[in-house]
Chains A and B, each alone.
Chain A
Amino acid sequence: MLLDPGLNLTLRPMAYPVFFEMYRNAIKNTWTVEEVDFSTDLVDLRSKMTEAERHLIHRLVAFFATGDSIVGNNLVLNLYKHLNAPEARMYLSRQLYEEALHVQFYLTLLDTYVPDPAERAKAFAAIDNIPSIQRKAAFCMKWMDSIHDVQAARTKEDRRRFLLNLICFAGCIEGLFFFAAFAYVYFLRSKGLLNGLAAGTNWVFRDESAHMAFAFEAIQVARKEEPDLFDARMERDVVQMLREAVECETTFAQDLLSGGVVGLSTQDMRGYLEYVADQRLLMLGMAPVFRTKNPLGFMELQDVQELTNFFERRVSSYQVAVGVGAANDVVFDAAF
């Protein structure tokens, strides 16, 4: 079983080919920070954006850089330890690389956006001093870190704790905090601002969507293998956790939007968070608790296929891995 303690090395026969497929697909979407073009962002920051929008963006980028580090740590310290299937660990290894890439991306952004080293240090210090971020950190501590001391999930209670960690990780951190953070980026992009940030974030979002799908798949598998882990207490905890996550993120929104940003109000952001939280509950097969409609029209934009004019931006949709296997011989009669 997926949550059995140990270090399983058996790839054949493969117990969970779905994880292996996810691993392969992830590799097809390799991108690098060097491909992102930030050239117009600086112009936007200097001359097109308001003080309030700049505040939003500095804090947001600092959060991203830190947030992805938190995710990376949890991957190594918890997920890798307890998800006992080599193909799942292959995926996690790949994910770990992607998290590092994201950190690099946001770090590069911050260095570009905030050229003054003292200012930069301040942006990162904000993570430790600002209540809205401290609240998020406390949240992570409460719901995720309790698993740290479990070396092997031998008891049902251990596995239950791990599963809750996994749900928090997938549903709240990647599935809610990051979704909220992406919303700010897409909001600015809907106003034509910070295309470099948006282009890179698009790729980050694509990666994060895959991470979330993996985690939810793992939750599903664990649940199928040990159905009674997911009892009424678990459901209560999950709802409680998501409610707290929405609260944390709302506090963060109030901070980010404190300067007054036209077109994005805290109550719309709150509505969006509730909407997203409901989506996570639905993904777990649970009833939604907020029943809020998504108020952010611009988020519709990121749900549809892009059509980039290359004069304007780089196209982000090409697949990276081709060239192996029989389908890759030169032939003249393949269907097209």
Chain B
Amino acid sequence: MTVETPMKPTAATTLPLPPAPPVTAAPATSPQPAQGPAEFGTTTMRVRKRNGTAEPVDLNKIVRAVGRSCMGLSRVDVMRVATKTISGLYDGATTRELDSLSIQTAAALIVEEPEYARLSSRLLATFIQKEVSNQDIHSFSQSIAAGHKHGLIADRLLQFVQANARKLNAAIDPARNDLFEYFGLRTVYDRYLLKNPQTREVIETPQEFFLRVACALSGDNAREAIELYRLFSSLEYLPSSPTLFNSGTRHEQLSSCFLLDSPADELDSIYKKYSDIAMLSKFSGGIGVGYHRVRARGSLIRSTNGHSNGIVPWLKTLDASVAAVNQGGKRKGACCVYLESWHADIEDFLELRDNTGDEARRTHNLNLANWVPDLFMRRVETDGDWSLFDPKTVPHLTDLWGDAFDKAYAEAEASGVALRKVKARDLYARMMKVLAQTGNGWMTFKDLSNRKSNQTAKPANVIHLSNLCTEILEVTSQGETAVCNLGSLNLGRMVADGKFDFERLRANVQLALRQLDRVIDLNYYPIPTAADSNRRWRPVGLGLMGLQDVFFQLRLPFDAPEARALSQKISEEIYYAALSTSADLAEQFGAHPGFSETRAAQGELQFESWGVVPEDTARWSTLRARIQKTGLRNSLMIAIAPTATIASIAGCYECIEPQVSNLFKRETLSGDFLQVNRYLVRDLQALGLWNDSTRNRIKMAEGSVQDLTELPAELRNVYRTAWEIPMRSLIDMAADRGAFIDQSQSLNLFVETPNIGKLSSMYFYAWQKGLKTTYYLRSRPATRIAKATVGASGAAATSAPAPAPMAQAMPEAEAVACSLENPESCEACQ
């Protein structure tokens, strides 16, 4: 195929500029009917229409199409999108390609003006609508029927929708599309909407998707379904990804997390565990699995009189298995392995993610977490020794915690069965090193997790691990696989008139908790041990996201005392509303079967185990009395998940996290998206400061605004990034909140250039503050990619031409401190 591009042959050294300038002059508040640009009449470019005929590219047509999506957007330039779209076309492109190019073109301008996010999302909504209606699907009930015909939708959902078709079809509110930011809608389109299995075209619109999920979770009641639909489509609350993926389909595996007890110390059990994990991963579940019970390297195998190779080869197999299961192409399988700190293979375990050394002893797909007893941290504190054991000789240690564990551990030490002794601080330093190098090797605390759990009132019920994201803490055993269904409230959408709306929060918690509870009964359990456990405990995990959005809207610095107080108050309200709703449910349907074994049955609530007294003690006393009478429908209710994907659907910052950067790229399976802090942009626009030069400065500063001195200091303080906020304040906030979280929270910590000194202090503090778990350690790369789109002019025109990414990588003082030429100030050489 020969292609006539409008470009001249390359021999010419003068440049053909992109043909934009003649028409971009119009500021284009509203779509202009654009009579002007005849310039394009001269190109020979044609598009192929869906029916196969070719027609010349018509700028006016594109302008009109884009213009239809510009209502109320005063800062977008239609002509700019249209001309840029044309410049990216080639002769013979299809109209579909043209449409998606105009969406991408608009999306690329988001970094200049956040309103383009709205424009590109509207263009995308139209694009999706076209794709769906081209298959003769014009209503919600038709979409469900089509899904059923293709073998995707379950019979029960089809029947329900057919019986209530008129009501449900009328409930669809396309105006709600306007709540999406571009990234959100793109994610929904790429990954969540049901597709025709052959053509791969989507067969539902975003609103139909929300209604489908709502119907599937509503217990065959149209009024409830519509109520839930309104909740989802308001983006004030979203269920977790597996629930969104699978609701109403023929495989309703709706849970996010599975916690599997360690395989027993025998071959059969180890292999059975691989197959359990594969089954659970297949349907979008994230896996946590313990390996505490499996014997260590060098242990005698009686039947063959050989010696065991320890846990590493088994984990290598698990690694390959996890990589093979790809969650139906929707997302990759993911698994985290937990190991108790006394296991004699702990050092090998900590090397599993190194990128040097023997590949046979490396597992690049597995996440790693330390399951740390208090006793270990105390030995670290006192600089004591730490004994490592083969679980084969001390099988009981895994099932003990608190004083009983301390005692048994001391006995084992005294009896001389330890395989080795190490300095506790040496092992702790290795743990810190792994965190610094890989972000992995999460610190989770065994005793704190057990002591502060509602499920562990009886010594037989023990928590042995957390999950893939360290927010779920549930009892497991050889016969029980813990399961959790998750959903998250979007706090960012609950601010009204400069205040956080607690009324709305409570109402949303009530709806959300009922929905989560219903999932327990609807759920398809890929393995029987999961079903047994879930019916007994009925745990759910209601979380939150968009805390940073609340602070931005109220212009509160993340670590301000008011922010800390508000965050705690929000968590208290969520816990209170959740317990009340669960008590309502217990009145209606009965308490969960394990209720008598819980601390709540004895009147003990989460904050008591933290020694915290809530504000309004009277209402808590009333609630406590009621719970002791009626019981609870759910043993656990609150867990703050990382919300990575649903936060991008909802267009808010992730869970409890501060922003990582004012300008960053979000990498997902659907491509990379640029995200700008729209709150900051709004403030900069008001100050007349949002322009190319400001953008480049923020980019050069890796997303920081601290050097933008023209921005008032209060605002610079508000718009600090996670790298610029003291981690101590994040830990303090997490501990405040922890008193109202009966499971745990995915708490990431951020250290720009980690070293063992910093990390050992930080994690020790987290343990002292009573945090049950922590999650990733985030750090920044030691060297950076050169900026391709930021002019070198500023620095280069003067004296120092090299942009030296090195210098950026190290703050000035540290660069000096490291230099071998300055032995006095160099810590490294001392």
Stretch at the interface among A29-37, A118-126, A145-153: A29-37
B174 interface residue per 8 A CB criterion: no
CA distance A217 to B428 in the complex (A): 40
CA distance A290 to B793 in the complex (A): 14
| CB atoms of A336 and B758 under 8 A apart | yes
Instruction: Point out the residues of chain B lying under 8 angstroms from A319, CB to CB.
Output: 436-437, 753-754, 779-782
Partner of B786, one of A186, A209, A260: A209
Instruction: Point out the residues of chain A lying under 8 angstroms from B362, CB to CB.
Output: 34
CA distance A329 to B429 in the complex (A): 7
Asked, given contacts A192-B190, A305-B661, whether A260 binds B355 with beta carbons under 8 Å apart, the answer is no
Instruction: Point out the residues of chain A lying under 8 angstroms from B429, CB to CB.
Output: 323, 328-330
Partner of B779, one of A285, A318, A325: A318
Partner of A297, one of B109, B433, B726: B109
B613 interface residue per 8 A CB criterion: no
| Minimum Cβ distance to chain B for residue A200 (Å) | 13
| CB atoms of A274 and B15 under 8 A apart | yes
Instruction: Point out the residues of chain A lying under 8 angstroms from B459, CB to CB.
Output: none
| CB atoms of A265 and B751 under 8 A apart | no
Partner of A267, one of B7, B286, B668: B7
A313 interface residue per 8 A CB criterion: yes
Instruction: Point out the residues of chain A lying under 8 angstroms from B728, CB to CB.
Output: 336
Stretch at the interface among B289-297, B486-494, B495-503, B802-810: B802-810
Asked, given contacts A14-B821, A335-B758, A336-B727, whether A320 binds B803 with beta carbons under 8 Å apart, the answer is no
| CB atoms of B780 and A21 under 8 A apart | no
| CB atoms of B758 and A294 under 8 A apart | no
Partner of A318, one of B438, B671, B699: B438
Partner of A25, one of B93, B699, B779, B809: B809
Partner of B665, one of A209, A213, A295, A301: A301
Closest to A30 in B: B355
CA distance A116 to B533 in the complex (A): 50
| Minimum Cβ distance to chain B for residue A99 (Å) | 16
CA distance A213 to B820 in the complex (A): 21
| CB atoms of B331 and A209 under 8 A apart | no
CA distance A212 to B791 in the complex (A): 16
| CB atoms of B783 and A307 under 8 A apart | no
Asked, given contacts A14-B820, A213-B802, A285-B796, whether A206 binds B755 with beta carbons under 8 Å apart, the answer is no
| CB atoms of B10 and A330 under 8 A apart | no
Closest to A292 in B: B15
CA distance A283 to B439 in the complex (A): 35
Instruction: Point out the residues of chain B lying under 8 angstroms from A34, CB to CB.
Output: 355, 359, 362, 364
Which B residues, 59 to 115, have Cβ-Cβ distances below 8 Å to chain A? 87-93, 97, 100-101, 104-105, 108-109, 111
CA distance A17 to B821 in the complex (A): 7
Partner of B804, one of A192, A217, A262: A217
A-contact 0/1 string along B1-24, CB 8 Å cutoff: 101011100110101111000000
Instruction: Point out the residues of chain B lying under 8 angstroms from A259, CB to CB.
Output: 1, 3
| CB atoms of B801 and A206 under 8 A apart | no
Asked, given contacts A206-B783, A319-B781, A336-B762, whether A304 binds B801 with beta carbons under 8 Å apart, the answer is no
CA distance A290 to B116 in the complex (A): 29
| CB atoms of B751 and A336 under 8 A apart | yes
| CB atoms of B805 and A329 under 8 A apart | no
B790 interface residue per 8 A CB criterion: yes
B-contact 0/1 string along A62-75, CB 8 Å cutoff: 00000000000000
A235 interface residue per 8 A CB criterion: no
| Minimum Cβ distance to chain B for residue A265 (Å) | 6
| Minimum Cβ distance to chain B for residue A312 (Å) | 5
A95 interface residue per 8 A CB criterion: no
| CB atoms of A310 and B334 under 8 A apart | yes
| CB atoms of B782 and A268 under 8 A apart | no
Asked, given contacts A312-B331, A319-B782, whether A305 binds B665 with beta carbons under 8 Å apart, the answer is yes
Closest to B433 in A: A323
| CB atoms of B789 and A336 under 8 A apart | no
Asked, given contacts A213-B806, A265-B7, A271-B18, whether A303 binds B787 with beta carbons under 8 Å apart, the answer is yes
Asked, given contacts A35-B355, A247-B10, A330-B429, whether A303 binds B699 with beta carbons under 8 Å apart, the answer is yes
| CB atoms of A279 and B805 under 8 A apart | no
| Minimum Cβ distance to chain A for residue B212 (Å) | 23
Asked, given contacts A206-B784, A247-B13, A333-B761, whether A297 binds B108 with beta carbons under 8 Å apart, the answer is yes
| CB atoms of B355 and A320 under 8 A apart | yes
| CB atoms of A322 and B754 under 8 A apart | yes
| Minimum Cβ distance to chain A for residue B258 (Å) | 15
| CB atoms of A334 and B671 under 8 A apart | no
B510 interface residue per 8 A CB criterion: no
| Minimum Cβ distance to chain A for residue B430 (Å) | 9
Q: Give the secondary structure class of B's interface.
A: loop
B710 interface residue per 8 A CB criterion: no
Number of cross-chain contacts by CB at 8 Å: 344
| CB atoms of B727 and A313 under 8 A apart | no
Asked, given contacts A190-B671, A270-B15, A324-B828, whether A21 binds B815 with beta carbons under 8 Å apart, the answer is yes
Closest to A317 in B: B781
Instruction: Point out the residues of chain B lying under 8 angstroms from A37, CB to CB.
Output: 323
Asked, given contacts A216-B801, A282-B793, whether A268 binds B18 with beta carbons under 8 Å apart, the answer is yes
| Minimum Cβ distance to chain A for residue B277 (Å) | 16
Instruction: Point out the residues of chain B lying under 8 angstroms from A183, CB to CB.
Output: 788
| CB atoms of A35 and B364 under 8 A apart | yes
CA distance A65 to B777 in the complex (A): 35
Closest to B799 in A: A285
Asked, given contacts A30-B356, A298-B108, whether A309 binds B668 with beta carbons under 8 Å apart, the answer is yes
CA distance A267 to B15 in the complex (A): 9
Partner of A254, one of B10, B101, B829: B10
A232 interface residue per 8 A CB criterion: no
Instruction: Point out the residues of chain B lying under 8 angstroms from A309, CB to CB.
Output: 644-645, 666-668
- Which one of B18, B753, B793, B801 has the greatest number of beta carbons of chain A within 10 Å? B801
Closest to A269 in B: B7
Instruction: Point out the residues of chain B lying under 8 angstroms from A217, CB to CB.
Output: 802, 804
| Minimum Cβ distance to chain A for residue B646 (Å) | 11
| Minimum Cβ distance to chain A for residue B267 (Å) | 28
| CB atoms of B779 and A303 under 8 A apart | no
A90 interface residue per 8 A CB criterion: no
| CB atoms of A311 and B644 under 8 A apart | yes
Closest to B692 in A: A293
A250 interface residue per 8 A CB criterion: yes
CA distance A195 to B10 in the complex (A): 32
| Minimum Cβ distance to chain A for residue B103 (Å) | 11
A130 interface residue per 8 A CB criterion: no
Which A residues, 178 to 236, have Cβ-Cβ distances below 8 Å to chain B? 179, 182-183, 186, 189-193, 195, 202, 205-210, 212-213, 216-217, 220
Partner of A307, one of B18, B100, B666, B669: B666
B711 interface residue per 8 A CB criterion: no
B690 interface residue per 8 A CB criterion: no
A263 interface residue per 8 A CB criterion: yes
List 29 A-B pairs, Cβ < 8 Å.
A21-B806, A26-B783, A32-B355, A34-B362, A206-B785, A209-B805, A213-B806, A217-B804, A263-B88, A270-B15, A285-B799, A290-B15, A298-B108, A302-B785, A302-B788, A304-B665, A304-B674, A305-B664, A306-B666, A312-B331, A312-B644, A313-B669, A319-B781, A320-B782, A323-B433, A323-B756, A326-B828, A329-B760, A334-B762
Can you list the 7 inter-chain pairs with the closest CB atoms, starting with the nearest? Answer: A297-B108, A192-B671, A28-B782, A260-B90, A209-B786, A309-B644, A328-B756
Contacts A250-B10, A309-B666, A331-B760 supplied; 16 other A-B pairs, CB < 8 Å:
A25-B809, A34-B362, A34-B364, A35-B364, A39-B326, A192-B670, A213-B806, A216-B803, A283-B803, A284-B801, A303-B789, A307-B675, A311-B331, A312-B644, A322-B437, A328-B429
| Contact surface of B with A, Cβ cutoff 8 Å | 1, 3, 5-7, 10-11, 13, 15-18, 87-93, 97, 100-101, 104-105, 108-109, 111, 190, 286, 323, 326, 329, 331-332, 334, 355-356, 359, 362, 364, 367, 380-381, 425, 428-429, 432-433, 436-439, 644-645, 660-661, 663-675, 699, 702-703, 726-728, 751, 753-762, 764-765, 776, 778-793, 796-797, 799-806, 809-810, 815, 818-821, 827-830
